[in-house]
Structure 1
Amino acid sequence: MKIATTVLETRNTVKNWRKEGYTVGLVPTMGFLHEGHASLIKKCREQNDKVVVSVFVNPTQFGPNEDLEAYPRDLEKDKALCESLGADLIFHPEPSEMYKNPKTYMNIEGLSDNLCGKSRPIHFKGVCTVVSKLFNIVSPDRAYFGQKDAQQLAIIKKMVQDMNFDVEVVGCPIVREEDGLAKSSRNTYLSDEERKAALCLSKSVKKGMEIIKEGISAKEVLDEMKKVINQEPLAKIDYVSMVDSLTMEDVETVDRDVLVAMAVYIGKTRLIDNFSFEVK
């Protein structure tokens, strides 16, 4: 497995693969890899001849008071996991390699106004910018993203469609701990007490999945889900919302395919979870 730190080295490696006729898959990550990332790498390995994993904590998607400096990093552990899963290349650039006095950014309208975009207004601009750069650097046939970041996945799919990127975006299911907590690099921030409290998210998701049905009002579902979270003293709701799966706009009734998503603070740590419901 190769480690590349520059755009040029990464591009040259992929060009050589292309000359051999290989297909290329990309798994964009911010590192501190866990089983959720592993599931993306495994799927990428199954579907492509060559696997590129980017490990880059992207500064442009963090707001001024967010956890850019504190975001967990462990490149040696990431290397070991990637190698064990058969990755061929890790692209691990410094911010200065990716951003050289930038004046151009990738923005998206509408889909980023709700859910996480409402409380993190610059976040998806940064996500779209770095993902578009990775697509241009790696030129993958396929790229793999987790469904835990459901709004991000919807936005990237729309960006690919709108900007005519020649890449297939593959969404992969949420990976959970045995007790239901969705895997996240930010779970390491939690104390033992907060870790137990964080289960209110997955319990709320389970409640929502139990009661949702075609024709039910969004309010009825969301109220029951919020009750579960509000029973936990350490939890503070950022949002619990039901939106159209494609437009990310709020819905009042389950009369189309919907995404039910939440962001909840457990202490100072902001965690997200979601589920989707398809109208038959």
Structure 2
Amino acid sequence: MSDVLLTGLKIGESARWHEHRLWLANWGTRQVLAVDLDGNAEVMATAPTTLPFSIDWLPDGRLLVVAGPEGRLLRQEADGSLTDHADLTGLGAGLNEIVVTGRGDIYVNGGTDFHPGAGEAPGFVALIRADGSVRRVADGLAFPNGMAVTPDEGTLIVSESFAGRLTAFDIRPDGTLTGRRVWAPLPGDGIVLDAEGAVWTPGWTERGPACLRVAEGGEVLATVPLDRAGFACTLGGEDGRTLFTLAADWRMADGFEDNLERLLTGPETGQVCTARAPAAHAGHP
């Protein structure tokens, strides 16, 4: 079982290890938080949006925030203000997650539909390059969620939450995606890679919610039980081997809207949980 580092979150999402602290998007409060290893939280930005919103950084250290409902990609300036980083109006609203590669290519996904029709998969991945160009590079995803890029920057892995799988693409030198394939036939949310090539993802077991360490192909290598549903995870700490999982009360028997309303307006059940991992963080984010 994991340890609890922080309580009192609405819904914690978009977990990132950055500058010796855990960063996260605290949905419901619109705040980007940085949390140290003693559980002290500092507000680093307030996003002009509701949910979803997610975070990552440019190679020069500037914070990026995806304002999902508005379809905007915001960049934090030195004075703390947020300004539009690129024009994403052609993509439409409903953006979700972000990952930035070491060379500065930005991937965002969206087209999220909480009630898709049978056989529909309206989700996509878009690429934003340093010159400001924006284009879709993948379509037909069933609720694209967390993403990760391998250390060699040759593969992008996307959680397709409604399809119950992790999907991989080859990344070409120009940032476009090819070679779509199932990386693992397991559902995922906010994911992170480790130095042995495994993916950590929130998930479920017969005993309840857990954070799972998964090998390519789907073998579950390790399981960290949780007492509530996990939404995102990352690896960090001084040696990169602390697993941070963002969890909150989610009742599988209830509908999506009921769960979301309870999380946003009811008791603050969101937590940051920690456990030791067998391998250090790797890749992006």
Please report the TM-score for the alignment, with normalisation by the length of structure 2: 0.27
Superposition TM-score, scaled by structure 1 size: 0.27
Identify the structure with the greater strand proportion.
2
Q: Which has the higher helix share?
A: 1
